[in-house]
Structure 1
Amino acid sequence: MEKKQTKPMELLNEVVTEPYHLLHFLAFFSYFVVRTSAAPILSPHITSRLFLREIQAALALGVFAAFKIVREENWEAFISDVLFFAKIFLLALTLIMDYHLTLWYAVIFAVIYIFTQQPAFKKLGTASKITPLQLESLLTEGSTSKLWLVEFRSSYSPACIRSSRCFPELSITYSNKSFSFGIVDLGLFPNAAEYFGISLSGSMSQLPTYILFSHGSEVSRYPELDAESKGSHSPITKRFLSQYFKLDLLLLDYINGK
């Protein structure tokens, strides 16, 4: 699995340097400080009940993390899911001690969400960041590549962040002289969304959108332009994109000189 390729030191460095991860770590660590400080003033009944719930929460989170580390294809999605459920368990535990403490943690998590965001995968692989003008030029005036697979993303979309590792790693595997990969940031160029028929509304679930161009013309896209399918499309993974756009077949055609 791809996430196993990430070095532990790289993950540790990200936790220390990225505000999103660092603030979450400090918030979770503060629970142990609060728990230790509150122990002398809690009644034996509450202390016993809280200890039992802490064991249950730790076991449940461990099982959930083990399940997700097998199912998720990249670290970005795994960390996002684990942090979400860890916050739910923490709020549930603080509710046993004092609901005021629960409200404080809810405020802390809200502030973290507002002022920071989970970092996306930073490497591009062999994909190129291009502007809409550059893409139009490549498609209309022609280029050395017969095929272009373009990811339309936004750096502020949680779905794009979760899947940000997939496209660069796909580009490393499948790019060749006749097949290129490009990335268009719709956060920087929102007008391009309307031009390519992509809704920036969160309710439409069209971010990220992937479009395959052949000889300058669109031949397929995901998700498709179908209003009835909004919000119901499959999670973005390398395997799914490879199967959807038949990348293995396209690579074989290139190898065979077709």
Structure 2
Amino acid sequence: MEWLNQMASEPYYLSHFLTFFSYFILRTSTTSLLSPHLTHHLLHREIQAVLAFSVLALLKVFLVALALVIDYHLALWYLGAFFAIYILTQQPAYQGLGTSSKLTPLQLETLLTEGNISRFWLVEFRASCSPASICTSRCFPELSITYSNKNLSFGIVDLGLFPNAAEKFGIYLGGSMGQLPTYILFENAAEVARIPQLDFEAKSSHPPITKRLLSRYFELDRHLLEYVKGK
């Protein structure tokens, strides 16, 4: 039921849902205006489009392709609707945390300096207003489920809520927050590695953030193996 509540409350999902099912309203309302031959031809084309959709599994492509088959005016309507959705709404960030913890900057500093919980902390610095952070918001929680242990913990700091903390961790928030998300691995309060690097000129040239990239860059498999061997 959680995904139904999210779809009903988030404009991004709700507008896509309504736009998709508006086809059935248009289809039903125009049936009486079409001749039996045209209705049969249209049904045949719809079956073809549904089969193509099942292969491609691309909702938007299916709608536009189906609309082009039926009438180009309908195709223009869907293109305009999806463009308006893209401009006016924003995809919400993934809400799951996995085994990672939401932290304030002060909580993070305390955890790092106390040193009695985890030797390593991998921290994601993100912001809900950063499109890149939203696109990658699922990666970090899923990694935490796989790699969390007593020596390695995962934390999330929302710099949209605490922008003043960005400078302390060497994160640039200028422009469209293009340096977010930033991932930093700490060992006993000392920074070990980060991505992207502290190179403002090259901040847009780093590869797309994926679970595989983060796992390899921070050698998460090695950390997990060392923990298992040391148990």
Q: TM-score range by the shorter chain?
A: 0.7 to 0.9
Alpha-carbon distance, 1:120 to partner: 2.7
Correspondence 1:140-151 to 2 at 5 A:
140=113, 142-151=115-124
When residues 219 and 210 of structure 1 are mapped into structure 2, their CA distance, relative to the original with a 3 A threshold, is same
Return the letter of the residue paired with 1:230.
S
Alpha-carbon distance, 1:118 to partner: 2.7
Verify the 8 A CA contact 1:145 1:179 in the aligned structure 2.
yes
| Unpaired segments ≥5 residues, structure 2 | none
In 1, distance between residues paired with 2:83 and 2:185?
38
Question: Structure 2 residue aligned with 1:24, among 1, 12, 16?
Answer: 16
Alpha-carbon distance, 1:90 to partner: 3.0
In 1, distance between residues paired with 2:50 and 2:132?
27
Correspondence 1:149-164 to 2 at 5 A:
149-164=122-137
Correspondence 1:119-138 to 2 at 5 A:
119-138=92-111
When residues 90 and 193 of structure 1 are mapped into structure 2, their CA distance, relative to the original with a 3 A threshold, is farther
When residues 25 and 243 of structure 1 are mapped into structure 2, their CA distance, relative to the original with a 3 A threshold, is same
Verify the 8 A CA contact 2:49 2:62 in the aligned structure 1.
yes
Alpha-carbon displacement from aligned partner over 1:186-233 (angstroms, at most 9, x marks no partner): 221223334433344677853322110112111111233344462450
Give the match's secondary structure for 1:256: helix
In 1, distance between residues paired with 2:54 and 2:206?
28
Question: Structure 2 residue aligned with 1:225, among 171, 187, 198?
Answer: 198
In 2, distance between residues paired with 1:158 and 1:55?
37
Aligned length: 228
When residues 60 and 224 of structure 1 are mapped into structure 2, their CA distance, relative to the original with a 3 A threshold, is farther
Alpha-carbon displacement from aligned partner over 1:53-107 (angstroms, at most 9, x marks no partner): x566545543333xxxxxxxxxxxxxxxx4xxx33553455466254x5554445
| Unpaired segments ≥5 residues, structure 1 | 1-8, 66-81
1:253 aligns to what? 226
Verify the 8 A CA contact 2:178 2:203 in the aligned structure 1.
no
Q: When the two structures are superposed, what TM-score results if normalisation uses the length of structure 1? A: 0.68
Return the letter of the residue paired with 2:97.
L
Alpha-carbon distance, 1:184 to partner: 0.7
When residues 56 and 132 of structure 1 are mapped into structure 2, their CA distance, relative to the original with a 3 A threshold, is farther
1:192 aligns to what? 165
Identity of aligned residues (%): 62
Return the letter of the residue paired with 1:148.
W
Alpha-carbon distance, 1:149 to partner: 0.3
Verify the 8 A CA contact 2:123 2:156 in the aligned structure 1.
yes
Q: When the two structures are superposed, what TM-score results if normalisation uses the length of structure 2? A: 0.75
Correspondence 1:1-258 to 2 at 5 A:
11=3, 14-16=6-8, 18-39=10-31, 52=45, 58-65=50-57, 82=58, 86-91=59-64, 93-94=66-67, 97-99=71-73, 101-102=74-75, 104-113=77-86, 116-140=89-113, 142-200=115-173, 205-226=178-199, 227-228=201-202, 230-237=204-211, 239-257=212-230
Higher Cα radius of gyration? 2
